[in-house]
Amino acid sequence: MSTLLESLRSGTQVVAAELRPPRAELESIASMDAWIDTYHAVRSLTRAGTYVFLTDSAVGLKEEDNLRHLVINLGSDVPRSAVIPFLTCKHPREYCLAYADRAHQQGFDALVVLGGDKNVGPPRCVEHAWQLREQIRQRVPALALGGWANPHGDCATQVAHLLDEHANAEFYLTQIVSHHSQSAVARFVSEGERRNLAVPGVFGLFYYRSANARTLSTLSSFLPVPVEGLSREFAAGATPEEVCARSLRDLAAVGARHFYISNLPLGRAASTLRKILDFSAIAV
């Protein structure tokens, strides 16, 4: 596979998957089982040509060291260019810099560096993620670094952050969006075009498995969830794959080109993604 950055800069559309490593507090047997499921998901996705992002302390919960497990267990079956780890600032500075060193030494060519939720978990080692990316860039210049943007926020401010000379990001990921936030995405894309933003973006989608009120309420603490819209769609008989495919199709229609999909079921990650793409009628 080409590197992620090469694909993002080419005419190829990228639809990637985002997976969560097991939680750090799991018992050893449960953790081992969870990692086996993760390995199978990574292998099946990458064999199908799909890039995989692996999170770090998602939703404020401490997760297993994704890089260590990847290196130990994936072996040569999975090209390093197909897997892009996340690194949040919610670790000591020395750990973060050593993590970037390890990623480069083990053959990974890209790393997404995010701030991390300020409201939960340990404090950040720096105030803003760009500060950590700047330090990593000085130390490991060969790594392609990914940043972050939020289309739900003020689009002029978000694009300005990406254009800033200190951004130190060759690409960026976005907060979770959907077809219910199509207008916000359209404004963000238009602002980027108006200001000649050349940095490629990967827009986040969430695979909602149902409209369970308790689940959606919990998710709303971490990301913008269109509760009413989802409830209507599922009540009308839409499947999770159809709902996700609508987001993919409708956001592509307003100029979003690349996507990553979160919350795919580990045991069926590749087949579920294939169904989503088939429903969306988007060729990847």
Q: Quote the domain boundaries for residue 28.
A: 4-280
CATH number, domain containing residue 178: 3.20.20.220
> Residue 142 burial (CB < 10 Å; 0-12/13-18/19+)?
exposed
Nearest residue to 208 (alpha-carbon basis) of 220, 196, 194: 220
For the entire predicted model, the pTM comes to 0.93
Cα 1 from Cα 229, distance rounded (Å)? 37
Mean pLDDT, rounded, for 201-226: 95
Given a cut of 60, whether residue 60 has pLDDT beyond it is no
Non-local (6+) Cβ contacts of 17 within 8 A are 41, 45, 50, 51, 52, 53, 260, 261, 264, 269, 273
Mean pLDDT, rounded, for 171-178: 98
Given a cut of 90, whether residue 64 has pLDDT beyond it is no
Given a cut of 90, whether residue 173 has pLDDT beyond it is yes
Percent of the chain's residues with pLDDT above 90: 76
Q: What local confidence, expressed as pLDDT, does residue 241 receive?
A: 98
Given a cut of 80, whether residue 244 has pLDDT beyond it is yes
The average confidence (pLDDT) of the chain is: 91
| Least reliable range by pLDDT among 8-17, 66-75, 91-100, 175-184 | 66-75
| Least reliable range by pLDDT among 114-123, 148-157, 187-196, 241-250 | 114-123
Q: What local confidence, expressed as pLDDT, does residue 31 receive?
A: 61
Nearest residue to 21 (alpha-carbon basis) of 37, 1, 4, 44: 37
pLDDT digit string (tens) for 194-211? 999 999 999 999 999 999
Provide the pLDDT confidence category of residue 26 given band limits of 50, 70 and 90. very low
Q: What local confidence, expressed as pLDDT, does residue 121 receive?
A: 78
Give the count of domains, the chain: 1
Q: Are the C-beta atoms of 205 and 260 separated by less than 8 Å?
A: yes
More confident residue, 239 or 28: 239
